[in-house]
Amino acid sequence: MATSGRKPIIAANWKMHHDHLVAIQVVQKLSYRLEKDDHEECDVVVCPPFSDLRTLQTLIESDKIPIALGAQNCHWEDQGAFTGEVSPPMLKKLIVEYVIVGHSERRQLFGETDETVNKKLAAVLEHEMAPILCVGETLEERESGRTEARVVEQTRAALRGVKADAAAPCVLAYEPIWAIGTGRVATPDDANETIGAIRGVLRDLYGETADTIRIQYGGSVKPGNIAELMLMPEIDGALVGGASLDPDDFARIVRYRV
């Protein structure tokens, strides 16, 4: 586990899974499986599809469930003629606390650039939510020895113009693209080394503030590998994809200490 005093954060990215009725069942089951001590030990976040947000907001508030609500994406403008997009103020009204920014699927499938990621991150911070900024390399970049250079480049570009006081709420997620949904996982040592490089960028940009910013690992995280990953000093949590769809599996990931 990270020895820095940073509280771990485990976030579920459901991607395009679970309608609002299934979402209710999953969050209720998850709440039954987690104890007060689990929430004291780490922050738990669920990032469902947009269509589930209002339903889960109501559930979380009415049942006083200590799980934070996150969104998977947003536009950088507050309003306008952007059919199909959702703005940061809309998310803020739904008690959304975290917004995933720059996920590799958004970059690869929908053409997001470092510039648009930077705009989204700034907009999320402006509306007092915490971005979960994703960075990571492709298999080709990894095999050519460009892992560190790529994640450093992405981190600097996404945080351009963001000052230290504004950056403090940010969460970063190192997601090697070649490991997402493939069953392959970066070794804990490799993940820790790359996250250490990201931390180095943060220290260069923000000095001591960098040591308060949490950095997750993402990429085929499962109940069977989470404990080993969390033993690494630089890893402050996980951004979990497929294994987060099942409340039993996700609860086991959150309770990695048990």
In whole angstroms, give the CA distance from residue 229 to residue 242: 17
Let me know: does 52 contact 18? Beta carbons within 8 Å: yes
- How far does CA 93 lie from the centroid of its chain? 20
In whole angstroms, give the CA distance from residue 67 to residue 61: 10
- Residues 121, 125, 128, 129, CA torsion sign: positive
Which residues have a catalytic role annotated? 103, 175
Half-sphere exposure of 120 (CA within 13 A, CB side): 28
End-to-end CA distance of the chain: 13
Residue 246: which of 18, 72, 70 has the closest Cα? 18
